[in-house]
Structure 1
């Protein structure tokens, strides 16, 4: 279970974009982030401090040794929670709102791909399944998918000279009625 402070920090729209950027590009200078998001350095620095306070990112040394620049990288890559993880009604409400923000972000990426990404050399896919499961079986499915994605991601050699594009994958498993 994630602390509510992490959940709320991660699901601010700009902070979510910063996390996505760092996930793809690793350690990045604050000015590069400001240019990538057409934002002021001070605004980006504020959001970086919020993410640092939540334990999501960490400041790292400039790879060139220049002490005048501020560089940041993710200190963790995954987040998992459910509103049922929280006893406090206020925290459960915040977790539910963060889940909604997460789904909106995922759907925005999917819609953008449908509008503009069809010309890519990398084609997307869709998959779904309908079955019966206990709460434990559904939790197990989520853990297995996460482990499989982590294994798949760690097996990609980004230094092998092949051209790669950013790829976003998301799946949802939830109780439903037919």
Structure 2
């Protein structure tokens, strides 16, 4: 296994297209949550055949998006997978030098946005089952600001830094639980997987 990157920047068209696939995005998210999993585990989550899931996992691995993980059981027939980095970033500047690359980046961005909106719609459909605390804590808002490009970049950097602090807190709690603190520990009590989406872009009316 290779060393783990903090945040991999995708700059080539092949890797972008490998990730911009509906099922592969589900599998990538599933590995983000599970940290390590087999094709069988992920197939149960996405409701697809193990053979199909295995094929798409291999495609993700071919482009270095995931990698084999240490076995988590004594069954040597099982192949375990994990993300090869803690996340990925995709920037417009890396795909604007050719029409094909720009079109692929736009198509991928639309697919990612639709996938995230599907996740949010699922929350809207299911929020009655989550209870008062989670409904009170969840947020949906829009802010209209007057900014320069530099100020927008500064705002984004500050928001990402804040998110990373909370991400590290969650990882520390998971590590404490794995080390034996148990479900009843203060760090792990009431903790769930949470999605946070932010979009920042200029517009004119």
Alignment partner of 1:80: what SS? strand
Task: Find out whether 1:168 has 2:179 as its counterpart.
Answer: no
Please state if 1:45 is matched with 2:54. Answer: yes
Distance change in 2, residues 1:38/1:62 (3 Å): same
Distance 2:34 2:103 in 1: 33
In 2, Cα distance between the equivalents of 1:37 and 1:110?
Answer: 17
Do structure 1's residue 98 and structure 2's residue 108 form an aligned pair? yes
Structure 2 Cα separation of the partners of residues 174 and 74 of structure 1 = 29
Q: Which runs of 5+ in 2 are unaligned?
A: 1-8, 184-188
Please say if 1:2 is aligned against 2:10.
yes
Taking structure 1 as the reference length, the TM-score comes to 0.90
Measured in 2, the distance between the counterparts of 1:77 and 1:117 equals 28
Q: What corresponds to 1:19 in structure 2?
A: 28
Look up the SS of the partner of 1:77 in the other structure.
coil
- Aligned equivalents of 1:132 and 1:112: distance in 2? 32
TM normalised by structure 2 equals 0.79
- Matched-pair contact (CA < 8 Å) for 1:83–1:93: no
CA distance in 2, matches of 1:130, 1:12: 32
Residue 137 of structure 1 corresponds to: 151
Alpha-carbon distance, 1:65 to partner: 4.0
Question: Which whole-Å deviations, capped at 9, do the CAs of 1:82-124 have from their partners, x for residues lacking one?
Answer: 4343201101100000100011011111111111223313121
The count of aligned residue pairs is 178
